A and B are shown apart, each in its own frame.
Chain A
Amino acid sequence: MNPVLELRHLSKSFGQFEAVRDVSLSVAEGEFLTLLGASGSGKTTTLRLIAGLEMPTSGTIHFAGADITDVPPTHRDMRLVFQDFALFPNLSVYDNVAFGLRLKISRARFPRGEIDQRVKRYVELVHLGDQLHKMPHQLSGGQKQRVALARALVTEPRVVLFDEPLGSLDASLRKAMQVEIKRMHRDLGRTFIYVTHDQDEAMTMSDKVAVMQHSQLLQLATPEEIYRHPSSAAVARFIGAANILDGEVETASAGESLIRLQGGGALRAATPPGGLGAGARVQVMMRAEHFVFDRADAGPDINWLSGRVMERLFLGRSMEYQVRIGHSQETISLLDQRQQSVPVARDGALEFGIHPGDVRVLAE
């Protein structure tokens, strides 16, 4: 089946600065894709390229099979929800939402008689039915965001683009809106492309996540895939607390390999599909949540290490330790979520274990 949107080797430079470098991806119809990255990673520029608000320096964009690289933004069937809402201050909620339907370009698709019921339907959908005649400055941040959403959805575009829409809302409102947007995606069945720097947001809302850094696409996969099998240390560092240590392969076999850590100690790790060469320099990643602390409870397979506690943080449900292994200068984070460990004070020795299957060997 044809992907609804495809980017092929898309690049965009502003003078000397390369904002987007050779990004290729495809989006299936009805998918919820999130572009995840820090500020300056190129995710917003990529979104703007998709919308047509910027023209690419090289590469092409394909929409439902057709090349739309040169199509102006007014003629792309994609609506954008802006970070600052971009509501028209001189128009009421009703008129803001009706704006797209009243334009010359929409005359054919939306007969005048239908405009009223469409506007009302989408304003109801975002639970603002009783605010139809309010002006934007009379609305709260959350309400403005919902108007912006209704305005984008009312023309029933094939793709809806979101540019960090929840960035300016407070935490509890943000959570509520995330649920709303996810629900809307399910109910309306349209393709959503979402840009954010918040990894929790990306992980909970999306079908697929595209991790971007330094203008490049690092990995495009389901949230689970990115979490369990990050394609590189850069991606791993992005999601969750990933502890990454340097090491060297001591012995390698089809199932399991022994990695000697640079700072001291050794770990048995599951051999990645590509295999490992003895003596190869690698990086291992261990998620903070995967450590175990109770020898009695743990299985026989567990790697056991010990380290010195540099910092101990009480997080309510869990205890976080920042630990140094051997003579390594780096600290790794360990999360004890089941109160298995006997609380160790700073500078004390802590024993912890990790299953070889949870020790991820990464390509550099």
Chain B
Amino acid sequence: MWFWLAPPLAWFGVFMILPYCLLLYYSAGSVDYMTFKPGMSAANFIRLVTTEPYLGVLLKSAKLGAIAALGSAILAYPLAFCLAFHTRSERRKFQIYLLVIVPWWASYLVKAYAWKTILGTEGIINQALLALRIIDHPITSLIYNQTSVALVLIYIFTPFAVLSIYASLERIPASLIEAATNLGASSWETFYRIIWPLSIPGVIAGAIITFSLSFGDFVAPALVGGADAVMISNIVINLLGVAFDWPMAAAIGIVVIALGLSLISLSSHLEEKGAVRL
């Protein structure tokens, strides 16, 4: 048995365990100009949560992550609901499903760049408004702020939320809806008392993972964020490059990973506890 387990274990060890250990090692050290000095202090972690710009950026990343999670849940729910309850034919269901999934396969970078061409000063929106003479000068505030970052994040992660919510809605047996109707419940009452409570696990699961992924995202803020929407991962890139503070970068990495992991385990714990056995 060990013979077969050895390759995957080795891979796991070299490419996952080892890097994490290195990360931890680095985060405990410090840097003196361009030289790394190993150490055993938690100074970097303390600095991370007490000083600017780190604290502010952490909070901003959390805020944008939360907005992305909420926004994609709100957009995704009606779509998932239509898919689950209002599409009669299997073919139509498949078509809509494809429409949601296929863009997801396209490169994230390409999609984020596409938003630059939509929101930019020479982008489609501005060109259209100028051509219609609604404005004289292009609107510069459409891009390079927190709103544009939130917009892109929501756009990127809505398909994920759709899948998650659809899965939980699809599991609801039709006989439950019929039972509610038979007892006299209006469409709204059936939704509010039965469908919505049973779909909550799907909504939460989607939201938590959207948050975890958005929190550590760097493409969206890099392309459409500008100075106003610097997120924690952009800071890490700076620290690894120009600013040259690998220990700090490592510390941030560990915090982000830990946060992500704890959220995901919270999500699955909630799902087990709250999930009603249908």
Contact = CB atoms under 8 A, between A and B. Distances in A.
B186 A99 contact: no
Contact of B184 (A82, A84, A155): A155
Interface residues of A, number: 25
A303 to B, nearest CB: 52
A89 B175 CA distance: 12
Interface stretch (A10-18, A103-111, A229-237, A278-286): A103-111
Contacts of A324: none
Interface in A23-77: 51-53, 73-75
The interface centre, meaning the residue of A73, A99, A105, A137 with most chain B CB atoms within 10 A of its CB, is A99
B277 A89 contact: yes
Interface string B181-202: 1111110010001100110000
Given A105-B184, A155-B183, A86 B173 contact: yes
Interface string A82-106: 1010101110000000011001111
Interface in B160-184: 173, 175-176, 178-184
A80 interface: yes
Contact of B175 (A86, A100, A155): A86
B182 A53 contact: yes
A273 B215 CA distance: 87
Contacts of A260: none
A21 interface: no
B22 interface: no
A103 B184 contact: yes
Contact of B183 (A53, A90, A151): A151
Interface in B191-219: 193-194, 197-198
B134 interface: no
Contacts of B184: 74-75, 100, 103, 105-106, 155
Contacts of B194: 88, 90
Nearest to B188: A104
B179 A82 contact: yes
A104 B180 contact: no
A104 B277 contact: no
Nearest to A138: B277
Given A88-B194, A89-B277, A90-B197, A100 B183 contact: yes
B176 A79 contact: no
B10 to A, nearest CB: 43
B182 A84 contact: no
A103 B175 contact: no
Interface of chain A: mostly helix, strand, loop or mixed: mixed
Nearest to B177: A86
Interface of chain B: mostly helix, strand, loop or mixed: helix
B110 interface: no
Contacts of A151: 183
B198 A89 contact: yes
A105 B189 CA distance: 10
A307 B173 CA distance: 55
A74 B185 contact: yes
Contact of B181 (A73, A89, A104, A137): A73
Given A74-B186, A151-B183, A53 B278 contact: no
Nearest to B278: A89
Given A84-B173, A137-B276, A137-B277, A103 B179 contact: no
A73 B178 CA distance: 9
A308 B237 CA distance: 95
The interface centre, meaning the residue of A52, A82, A88 with most chain B CB atoms within 10 A of its CB, is A88
A216 B137 CA distance: 75
B183 to A, nearest CB: 4
A79 B277 CA distance: 25
B175 A79 contact: no
Given A84-B173, A137-B276, A137-B277, A74 B193 contact: no
A33 B198 CA distance: 36
Contacts of A73: 181-182
Nearest to A105: B184
Contact of A74 (B181, B197, B277): B181
Nearest to B187: A74
Contact of B176 (A88, A135, A155): A88
Contacts of B179: 80, 82, 86, 88
A137 B198 CA distance: 14
A151 B176 CA distance: 13
Nearest to A89: B276
A185 B127 CA distance: 75
Contacts of B183: 79, 99-100, 103, 151, 155
Nearest to B172: A89
Nearest to A53: B178
Nearest to B198: A90
Contacts of A80: 178-179, 182
Interface in A120-136: 135
23 contacts: A51-B182, A52-B182, A53-B182, A74-B184, A75-B184, A79-B182, A79-B183, A80-B179, A82-B175, A86-B173, A88-B179, A88-B194, A89-B198, A89-B276, A89-B278, A90-B197, A99-B183, A103-B189, A104-B189, A106-B184, A137-B276, A137-B277, A155-B184
Interface of B: 173, 175-176, 178-186, 189, 193-194, 197-198, 276-278
